[in-house]
């Protein structure tokens, strides 16, 4: 008899604990606002993704320390897009349909963002990319925005810079995805004398054949549009070929792994005078302020301002189109009718 009583009491106690836990969990969920983040946290561009994630975390912490969103905690759910279409779609599907977030901040690789943009449009949920610069994103839909410049700006800047530098002929080489092709296309339209153009698969480990075809045309310089790992491969193989040529690269070269890998090379970066606090906060996390980090930070801050006004993605979309220029650490951010920022400034750095 005593055993039965004890067993009944134990069952009741367990039930009460579960009930209270469920209530506590529900209350916690009511006291937070969830949004999504997608970036390449693994793979070829993981250094950029991890740095951007750290920047977003800094902004998230600052927002919550200042009272959150109308008293609610901002909770960012971070997912890995792996610079891969299937991974990015799976991540977006989880965030939109399981976590029920109203918006996603992301991503870096154009193939990631382009892959889940149609889903966002269909669901009428917001996407604000902090680093996708492929020109094609401009026409991805009404709910798609970006806080980084369209790649067309970068390609044109590179072309004009090389003209001013006195370069007369250029060979162009780059990966064959949305981002590389978009920048290379803009460069080729602007530069007066592109003598050769070659491409390769993203992540390629041997591009000697393409390099040799460019060398046959004897250009003054190579415009090399690639992510860091392919860039390092190309630089090494150019030196193995005994080819002394000036290289000019894209903003993805802004990575410690690329620095010092070629004796005569420069690259373009988005110009930004970063606050010392942001730089030191990133350093405390063991991360670099590479390309996309200030934009990731700014994007979280912009989204937080939207969420203070509404949690409805349709209304947020309209607010973004009307938003006055936001004074971000990456520069002023305002959107045109296609969700692109309206201006961009670049500077040049030596490898």
Give CA angle at 172 (236, 268), nearest 5°: 75
Question: Is the model's pLDDT at 236 over the cut of 90?
Answer: yes
Mean pLDDT for all residues in the chain: 90
Please tell me the pTM assigned to this model.
0.84
Find, among 74, 94, 101, 91, the residue nearest to 40 by Cα.
91
Q: Residues of the chain with pLDDT > 70: what percent?
A: 91
Question: Is the model's pLDDT at 7 over the cut of 80?
Answer: no
The predicted structure's pLDDT at residue 1: 40
Question: Is the model's pLDDT at 334 over the cut of 80?
Answer: yes
Signed CA dihedral, 235, 41, 279, 297: sign only: positive
Q: Are 207 and 230 in contact (CB under 8 A)?
A: yes
The predicted structure's pLDDT at residue 291: 85
- Mean pLDDT, residues 265-289 taken together: 93
- Residue listed under structure tokens 């415009």: 223
Question: Is the model's pLDDT at 12 over the cut of 50?
Answer: no
Question: Is the model's pLDDT at 76 over the cut of 80?
Answer: yes
Q: Are 107 and 176 in contact (CB under 8 A)?
A: no
pLDDT digits (tens, 9 = 90+) for 83-110: 999 999 999 999 999 999 999 999 999 8
**162 confidence band (pLDDT: 50, 70, 90):** very high
Question: Is the model's pLDDT at 26 over the cut of 90?
Answer: no
Q: Are 131 and 296 in contact (CB under 8 A)?
A: yes
97 token code pair: 């349909």
Q: Containing H/E element for 20?
A: helix 2-30
- Mean pLDDT, residues 145-168 taken together: 96
**270 confidence band (pLDDT: 50, 70, 90):** confident
**203 confidence band (pLDDT: 50, 70, 90):** confident
The predicted structure's pLDDT at residue 245: 97
- Mean pLDDT, residues 343-347 taken together: 88
Question: Is the model's pLDDT at 227 over the cut of 60?
Answer: yes
Q: Residues of the chain with pLDDT > 90: what percent?
A: 75
Where are the alpha helices (H) located in 31-170, listed in sequence order?
Answer: 46-65, 85-93, 110-123, 151-164
Question: Is the model's pLDDT at 138 over the cut of 60?
Answer: yes
Cα–Cα dist 277/283, whole Å: 10
Instruction: Write down all domains in the chain, each with its CATH number in brackets.
Output: 29-150+273-343 (3.40.50.2300), 152-270 (3.40.50.2300)
Question: Is the model's pLDDT at 2 over the cut of 90?
Answer: no
Tell me whether residue 264 is exposed, middle or buried, using C-beta atoms within 10 angstroms of its C-beta: 0 to 12, 13 to 18, 19 or more.
exposed
Q: Are 174 and 182 in contact (CB under 8 A)?
A: no
**19 confidence band (pLDDT: 50, 70, 90):** very low
Beta-ladder partners of 80: 39
The predicted structure's pLDDT at residue 343: 85
**29 confidence band (pLDDT: 50, 70, 90):** low
Question: Is the model's pLDDT at 164 over the cut of 80?
Answer: yes
Q: Are strands 32-39 and 265-270 parallel, antiparallel or unpaired?
A: unpaired
Question: Is the model's pLDDT at 22 over the cut of 90?
Answer: no
Question: Is the model's pLDDT at 292 over the cut of 80?
Answer: yes
Q: Are 175 and 204 in contact (CB under 8 A)?
A: yes
Question: Is the model's pLDDT at 18 over the cut of 70?
Answer: no
CA distances from 66 to 36, 59, 70, 74, 329 (A): 20, 11, 10, 11, 18
């Amino acid at each position: 008899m005593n055993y039965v009583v004890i067993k009944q009491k134990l069952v009741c106690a367990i039930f009460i604990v579960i009930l209270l836990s469920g209530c506590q969990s529900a209350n916690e969920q009511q006291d937070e606002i969830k949004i999504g983040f997608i970036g390449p946290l693994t793979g070829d561009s993981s250094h950029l993704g991890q740095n951007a994630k750290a920047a977003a975390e800094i902004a998230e912490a600052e927002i919550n320390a200042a009272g959150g969103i109308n008293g609610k905690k901002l909770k960012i759910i971070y997912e890995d897009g792996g610079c891969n279409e299937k991974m990015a779609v799976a991540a977006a599907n989880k965030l939109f349909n399981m976590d029920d977030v109203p918006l996603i901040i992301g991503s870096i690789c154009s193939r990631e963002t382009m892959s889940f943009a149609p889903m966002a449009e269909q669901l009428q949920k917001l996407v604000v990319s902090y680093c996708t610069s492929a020109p094609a994103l401009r026409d991805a839909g009404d709910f798609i925005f970006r806080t980084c410049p369209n790649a067309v700006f970068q390609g044109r800047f590179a072309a004009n810079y090389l003209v001013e530098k006195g370069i007369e002929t250029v060979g162009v080489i780059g990966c064959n995805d949305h981002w590389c092709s978009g920048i290379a296309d803009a460069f080729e339209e602007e530069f007066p004398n592109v003598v050769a153009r070659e491409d390769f698969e993203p992540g390629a480990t041997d591009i000697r054949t393409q390099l040799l075809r460019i060398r046959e045309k004897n250009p003054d310089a190579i415009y090399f549009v690639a992510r860091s790992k392919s860039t390092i491969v190309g630089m090494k193989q150019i030196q193995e070929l005994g080819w002394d040529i000036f290289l000019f690269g894209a903003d993805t070269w802004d990575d410690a792994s690329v620095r010092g890998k070629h004796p005569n090379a420069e690259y373009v970066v988005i110009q930004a005078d970063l606050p010392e606090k942001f730089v030191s906060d990133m350093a405390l996390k063991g991360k670099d302020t590479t390309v996309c980090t200030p934009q990731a930070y700014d994007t979280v801050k912009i989204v937080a301002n939207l969420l203070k006004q509404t949690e409805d993605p349709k209304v947020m979309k309209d607010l973004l189109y009307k938003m006055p220029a936001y004074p971000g650490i990456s520069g002023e951010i305002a959107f045109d009718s296609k969700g692109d920022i309206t201006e961009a400034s670049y500077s040049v750095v030596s490898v």
